Structure 1
Amino acid sequence: MTTLVIGANGQIGKQFCELAQQAGTPIKAMLRSDEQVPWFKERGIDTVVADLEGDFAHAFEGCDQVVFTAGSGPHTGPDKTLLIDLYGAIRAADIASEQGLSRYVMISAMRAEDPMQAPEKLRPYMAAKFAADAHLRTSGVPYAILKPGRLTDEPASQQFADSLDEAGDNQISRANVAHALLHTVQNANITNQEFMLLDGKRPIGEIIK
């Protein structure tokens, strides 16, 4: 089962791709430009160049499931939030449905459940995630939605929690999200479920079942 990774060049995407390659889990990294290809080729990771703001249906060829971990990033404006975090995710779900993929794994956000509770500057992003998640639920494609808290650059502990009460804080490292994503991708029976992800004290198999 080959997984298309949309957002492979992002901070979570790169870590996930490296973990997947080391684990022997077949993936194809979708990259925006040829300049991004060498890092992946050096690690033996299959790539395809496609732009999330353009035509990217060809990237799905030969893939059985898709991971969406793309993001417009903190230094772009609302226009990119709409085109990438919202419409890009929606278009990916529609292509996955058209091509009969077995699953769509979405990296969303904990605050996407209630965007107005997020800090003001993050509300447009959370609203985009809210709408993209809602579209995915009704797309007809089996799905798993991972909802990490505030992202940090701490190293992977591979220890998790799934509630604020358990975690005591609302954060999780990007490295831990990458490990959670690998676990989800490797377990095809995890479908039509949603999981909050925070740093904690339990192995991922107790959080994502």
Structure 2
Amino acid sequence: MTRIAIVGGHGQVAQHLIHDLRRSDHDAVALVRTEAYRDELEAKGAEVRLLDIEQQEAAAFATAFAGCDAVVFAAGGGPDGNIERKRTVDLEGSLKSIEGARQAGIRRFVQISAIGVDDPLPADTGDVWRAYVEAKRDADAALRASDLDWTILRPGRLTDDPATGLVSLGPDVQRGDVTRADVAAVVAAALDTDSTIGQQWALTNGATPIADALS
């Protein structure tokens, strides 16, 4: 059994991931900014540790990761119009997670990004969306440049539909929707699949069972 730290542990994908990790005999450590989430996440089977992604520095991340074998960065600044949080959560939260993993001696790191963030943005792109895309792009670049055993998953538009277990996964996948439950299932499976190390893949729902897509 391994212990997986989930940054952004109260997010919707993270909550599906807690369930998937427990099913595959891993311990999930949900890192959240407020005590208010503890009872809910413990009821789902997670260990809960407090971490304020925006206010704390990399050393605090390393402390929060203590005893864990892998880190999943599943945090996001949310859909609101707060440009600043795209930087402080989506980018700086990732950078501090990467450094925290290094300080904690953890090599395995899976990051949930977004499809197409390396593509040029149209001139009329809104400021909030531009900030989000640039934050995800730069976070992915930093992880690729690190010495960690990384995997980057770039899902399409997220939906709350039930899991299908069927995906399209690869370096160049046409944009489409994907359920949050299927994203979590791919993350959980990737953690157990060494061949995913050093891979950056787009992810949508498709026709291929997850295990086959990863292999």
Same fold (TM over 0.5): yes
1:21 is paired with a residue whose SS is helix
Whether 1:60 aligns to 2:70 is no
4+ runs deviating over 6 angstroms: 163-167
User: Where in structure 2 are there 5+ consecutive unaligned residues?
Assistant: none
AA at the equivalent of 1:154: D
In the alignment, which residue of structure 1 is the partner of 2:134? 127
Change (3 A) 1:97 1:161: same
Task: Write the distance in 2 (CA, Å) between the matches of 1:119 and 1:125.
Answer: 15
8 Å CA contact 1:52–1:88 kept in 2: the answer is: yes
Q: Which residue in the other structure is 1:6 paired with?
A: 7
- Supply the AA of the counterpart residue of 1:158: G
Q: For the residues of structure 1 that align with 2:99 and 2:29, how far apart are their CA atoms?
A: 19
**Of 128, 133, 143, the match for 1:136:** 143
In the alignment, which residue of structure 2 is the partner of 1:104?
109
Distance in 2, Cα, partners of 1:147 & 1:165: 10
| Paired letter, 1:182 | A
Deviation readout 1:99-140 (Å, 9 max, x if unpaired)? 221211000111212251598242211110000000111121
Aligned to 1:151: 158
* CA deviations over 1:164-209 (Å, ceiling 9, x no partner): 9976x51111111011111112224521111111101101122223
CA positional deviation for 1:42: 1.6
What is the rounded CA distance, in whole Å, between the counterparts of 1:197 and 1:95 in structure 2? 27
Alignment match of 2:88 (pick from 58, 83, 86): 83
Letter aligned with residue 154 of structure 2? K
Distance 1:184 1:91 in 2: 22
Question: Who is 1:114 aligned against?
Answer: 119
Partner secondary structure for residue 158 of structure 2: strand
Say which SS state the counterpart of residue 98 (structure 2) adopts.
Answer: helix
Q: Equivalent residue of 2:54, what SS?
A: coil
Per the alignment, residue 189 of structure 2 pairs with 183
SS at match of 1:132: helix
Mapped to 2, the partners of 1:118 and 1:178 lie a distance apart of 33
* TM-score normalised according to structure 2 size: 0.89
Q: Hey, what does 1:207 align to over in structure 2?
A: 213
Give % identity: 30
SS at match of 2:116: helix
Q: What is the CA distance between 1:143 and its match in structure 2?
A: 0.1
Structure 1 pair 110–84 and aligned structure 2 pair: CA distance change class (3 A)? same
Aligned partner of 2:22 in structure 1 is 21
Distance 2:26 2:18 in 1: 9
Q: Could you say if the C-alpha distance between residues 131 and 198 of structure 1 is closer, same or farther in structure 2, counting changes exceeding 3 Å?
A: same
Q: Distance in 2 between matches of 1:196 and 1:23?
A: 24
**Which TM-score applies when normalising by structure 1?**
0.92
Aligned to 1:194: 200
**What is the RMSD computed on CA atoms of the aligned residues?**
2.1
